[in-house]
């Protein structure tokens, strides 16, 4: 009669240990694959959002017009104004023809707020104390935003209008040659865009300070 041999206790413990090790490695590998897939999806979503945000800003700048506005306190504000982390412009909405009567003007501002790129828009150009803006979040996880403005002498300015502008009319209507935007997004790294400006007359409105 043949003698039957079973597993010893040590062999069973070794086998269980190997099985546990392989199982843990498989679980960790699956978790890493899941996390990598989630990070890839998040990066793809952020890339689409960034492309949309930069495209929208580029479109708004291309439709900018030199039309100053009044704020809630009745003070005149330049047609284009900005600093390191925000820029406000008056833009012309509608179709291509500058004289089309279906076109309207709108005031918008791009700003960094709570690590988000915000597009703020107002329902009217010359605001009253009750005028409330509408904020649209274009991009999340923005770590840094930097703007600068190219003047007529091809010198970069950190704010617009540049300091030292004494003529009130020129201050309201002065126009940069271009705007440079730099963003740092967590999942995308550094993004840059150079936005040239072409000033066009606003339809059916005189270019200048808003009238009372």
The predicted-structure confidence for 51-81, as pLDDT tens digits, reads as follows 999 999 999 999 999 899 998 888 899 999 9
Question: What's the whole-model pTM score?
Answer: 0.72
Annotated domain spans of the chain? 53-196
Look at residue 5 in the predicted model and tell me its pLDDT.
Answer: 59
62-93 CB burial, b ≥16 within 10 A, e <16: ebbbbbbbbeeeeeebbbbbbbeebbbbbbbe
Q: Which of 32-36, 40-44, 88-92 has the highest mean pLDDT?
A: 88-92
What CATH number has the domain spanning 53-196? 3.10.610.10
């Amino acid at each position: 009669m043949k003698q039957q041999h079973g597993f010893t206790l040590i062999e069973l413990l070794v086998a269980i240990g190997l099985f546990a090790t392989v199982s843990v490695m498989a679980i960790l590998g699956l978790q890493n694959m899941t996390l990598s897939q989630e990070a890839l999806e998040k990066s793809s979503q952020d890339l689409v959002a960034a492309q949309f945000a930069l495209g929208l800003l580029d479109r708004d700048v291309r439709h900018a017009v030199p039309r100053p506005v009044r704020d809630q306190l009745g003070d005149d504000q330049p047609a284009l104004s900005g600093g390191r982390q925000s820029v406000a412009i008056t833009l012309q909405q509608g179709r291509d023809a500058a004289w089309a009567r279906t076109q309207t003007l709108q005031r918008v501002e791009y700003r960094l707020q709570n690590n988000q790129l915000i597009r703020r828009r107002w329902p009217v150009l010359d605001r009253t104390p009750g005028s409330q803006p509408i904020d649209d979040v274009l991009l999340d996880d923005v770590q840094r935003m930097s703007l600068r403005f190219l003047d007529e002498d091809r010198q970069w300015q950190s704010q617009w209008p540049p300091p030292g502008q004494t003529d009130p009319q020129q201050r309201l209507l002065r126009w940069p040659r271009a705007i440079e935007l730099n963003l740092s997004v967590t999942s995308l790294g550094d993004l840059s865009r150079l936005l040239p400006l072409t000033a066009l007359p606003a339809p059916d409105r005189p270019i200048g300070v808003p009238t009372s």
